[in-house]
A = this chain, B = another copy of it.
Amino acid sequence: MSDWDDVTSLRRRGETGVFDADLHPGWAIVGKPNGGYTLAILARAACEVVEAAHPLAISAHYLRAPSPGPVEVHAEAIRRGRRVSTARAALWEDGKPCIEALVTCGDLVADPVIEWDAIPAPPMPPPEECPAGSNPHFHVELFDHAELRVDPATAPFPQASGEPAVRFWFRLRDGTEPDVRTLLLAADAGPPTVFNLEKYGWAPTVELTVLVRGIPAPGWLLVATEAQFVSGGWFDEQAFVWDSTGRLVAQARQLALIGT
C-alpha cells in the first residue's frame, strides 16, 4: 500500500455508513490537515457507499478545521442512478462535524473524445527549472509527501509577484502515479494565491468544489491556480489540473476568507 493509499484509507463499521479514518499529521499545512486531503477521504467514502468508481463532482463546505488524529466519516447514498449516483459525506472529529460534502459519483472512461477545449495547459518551465514549493516562515508538512515545483514567475516567495496566480508541477513523493483521488489533493495543494498580493495570513477555505474531468496519465500533474475577484475580505480561487499528456483532468473553485 502506498503512503497516499494508507493515509486516505477507511475502515467501515460493518454495512453502515460510518467509517473510521486517521488524519495523518504529515499531510497538513502547519498543523491542520490539508483541505484537498480531507476531500479525498470524503470522496472515497462516498464512492464506496454508492459503489461507483470515481467522484465526478465534489462540493465541500468547511465548518471547522480538524486536527490530525482519528475521525469518523458519515456517508449516505441519497440517489443511485444508472449513470451517476450521489452521496452525502461528512467528516466528524470529537463529536462535531468539520466538513460536510455532497459527492456525485460515476465511472469515468479512460480515453474520452474531447469535443471542446478552451483551457489548454499553460506554458511552464520544466520541473527541474522550478524551485521546490516551500514557505520560508513555516514548515509545511504536506510538502514532505507531495512534491511541488513552482513556476518561479508565480512563486510568492521570496517576493510576492503582485498577481494572485500560482502555477506548479505536482507529484506524490511516495513514487505512486496519480489517480483520480490525487487530483483532489493537487487542486488544493498550492500556496494561497493571495500570498502574491502580500496577504500572508491563514486563508480558510469556506467552500471548495472540484469537478473531475478525466483519469490522469502517469507522470507529473500541472496545476494552475488563480484568484479572479478579491473583495470585502473574500476571495475565490480556481484551480485547473492537467496530466502529463496535457489533458485537463480537474477544475476546481473555492471561496475563502483572507487571512488576518
Which residues of A does B touch, CB under 8 Å? 56-57, 59, 61, 63-64, 78-79, 83-84, 86, 88, 97, 100-102, 104, 108-109, 112-119, 164, 197, 206-207, 209, 211, 213-214, 226-236, 248, 251, 253, 255, 257
Contacts and interface: CB of A to CB of B under 8 A. Distances in A.
A108 B255 CA distance: 14
Given A56-B206, A63-B78, A213 B234 contact: yes
B236 A113 contact: no
26 contacts: A56-B207, A56-B234, A57-B61, A57-B255, A59-B207, A59-B209, A61-B102, A63-B79, A84-B206, A102-B102, A112-B232, A114-B230, A115-B230, A116-B164, A116-B228, A116-B229, A116-B231, A116-B235, A117-B230, A118-B226, A211-B236, A213-B229, A213-B236, A214-B231, A229-B251, A231-B248
B59 A79 contact: no
A232 B56 contact: no
Of all A-B residue pairs in the complex, the 8 with the closest CB atoms, nearest first, are A112-B232, A59-B59, A57-B207, A116-B230, A63-B79, A115-B230, A209-B209, A114-B231
Given A78-B97, A114-B230, A117-B228, 9 more contacts: A59-B61, A63-B78, A64-B79, A84-B206, A116-B229, A211-B236, A213-B229, A228-B251, A229-B248
A71 to B, nearest CB: 16
Contacts of A116: 164, 197, 227-231, 235
Contacts of A253: 209, 211, 251, 253
A84 B64 CA distance: 11
A231 B61 contact: no
Contacts of A117: 228-231
B84 A231 contact: no
Contacts of A59: 59, 61, 102, 207, 209
A194 to B, nearest CB: 8
Total copies of this chain within the assembly: 2
A73 B141 CA distance: 43
B63 A207 contact: no
A109 to B, nearest CB: 6
B118 A100 contact: no
A76 to B, nearest CB: 10
